[in-house]
Structure 1
Amino acid sequence: MTNRIDSTQKAKELIAILKAQHGDLMFYQAGGCCEGTQPQCFEKGGYYLRMHDVCLGEVEGCEFWVDRDLFEYWQFSHFTLDVLDGFGVGGFSLETPLQKTFKVHYRLFTKAELEDLVPVKTAE
């Protein structure tokens, strides 16, 4: 089946560092402005999901959740989690003190991929 999210080597390396410091992690990306435009990394359970938020899958064993409205907009797109040097648009994400920020690259699924997507789960 086709994953909805993958990660770059840089993201994998940063996630390993953050897991060593903080334990289990989760990601959340909202569809709003400011911090909502970038994925945020939290200790698992450190962000309270809203009803019907969508889990796209896991990155290095960490659930990657998106706002339900964002999912409606991007449901036909593959996400690739990446890392940039520098301070992101907020200070709530765990990578901020390391002067890194997570970023997502998007691409549309091919027709074949759309027919074989991993199902999503939603928060209740």
Structure 2
Amino acid sequence: MAYNGTKRQVLNTFKLVHRARSKCFKDDNHMSNAAKVQINEEFKKNKSVSDPITVQNLIKFALDVENELLTQVVQAERIAENKFKLKIDPDRHTYENIPYAELDDETYKKWKESKKKGGKKDQKCCCD
């Protein structure tokens, strides 16, 4: 890479991904170290890339990885045989959960028909 601005951008991206890794796997040394090794390997593997477009694509990919680590990855701790406790960062955006409801065939068919006919747009669940 001949351009200093690109080098600086790559270094900043490298740091951002490592910060996201350390925040995501804060209390899990094993996963933190595994992610650290993987991140370092990927950056080393692409160290000799000099095409500016390819470099920008790799930077975008690394920023997407950072976003995934900060927004999508959660850790679970086993509490009992079939119980887990999720470790969710308070800064992490979570979405409203919609409970799953098992439908019998008749209810499902009615729901499908209402969808075909342009049923209620604000209806949250077919069981309401």
> Per the shorter chain, which TM-score range?
under 0.3
TM-score, L = length of structure 1: 0.24
More strand by share: 1
Bigger RCO (CA 8 Å, 6+ sep): 1
TM-score, normalised to structure 2's length?
Answer: 0.24
